[in-house]
């Protein structure tokens, strides 16, 4: 099963393969045909809508950022079925959730 807080390789629109972090809850992931994700990028630009991920965190190969302004849904079939590593910490997922809210215009302190 695709699990929340884990990183997976995914085929994004345009056939670009990149890691994503699953944001949708496991109960939804078990029942739906798609999952809610945010892509990672190794272009380390500072932004109020990015969250930094350290190398090896969650199985990331290198320092990356979660592009929280680019949240999307993907069909489960576009994700590799095996996670890159263990889950991101609860603290990191809380940070990502706060930044997603900021990205969609909900004022929040991070």
pLDDT in tens, 25-84: 999 999 999 999 999 999 998 899 999 999 999 999 999 999 999 999 999 999 999 999
pTM of the model: 0.94
Residue 109 pLDDT? 67
Confidence of residue 14 (pLDDT cuts 50, 70, 90): confident
Long-range contacts: 27-35, Cβ < 8 Å, 24+? 29/1, 29/2, 29/3, 29/4, 30/1, 32/76, 33/75, 33/76, 34/73, 34/74, 34/75, 34/76, 35/2, 35/73, 35/74, 35/76, 35/79
**Do 25 and 6 touch, CB atoms closer than 8 A?**
no
- What pLDDT is stored for residue 46 in this prediction? 87
pLDDT of residue 15: 81
Helix or strand run (H / E) with residue 94: helix 90-103
What average pLDDT does this structure show over 12-29? 94
Quickly state the pLDDT bin for 110 (edges 50, 70, 90).
low
């Amino acid at each position: 099963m695709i699990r929340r807080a884990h990183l997976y390789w995914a085929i994004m629109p345009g056939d670009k393969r990149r890691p994503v972090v699953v944001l949708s809850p496991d109960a939804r992931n078990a029942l739906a045909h798609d999952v809610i994700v945010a892509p990672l990028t190794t272009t380390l630009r500072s932004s109020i809508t990015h969250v930094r991920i350290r190398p090896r965190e969650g199985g990331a190969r290198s320092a990356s950022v979660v592009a929280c302004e680019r949240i999307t849904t993907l069909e489960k079939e576009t994700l590799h079925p095996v996670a890159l590593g263990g889950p991101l910490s609860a603290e990191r997922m809380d940070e990502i959730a706060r930044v997603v809210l900021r990205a969609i215009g909900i004022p929040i302190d991070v």
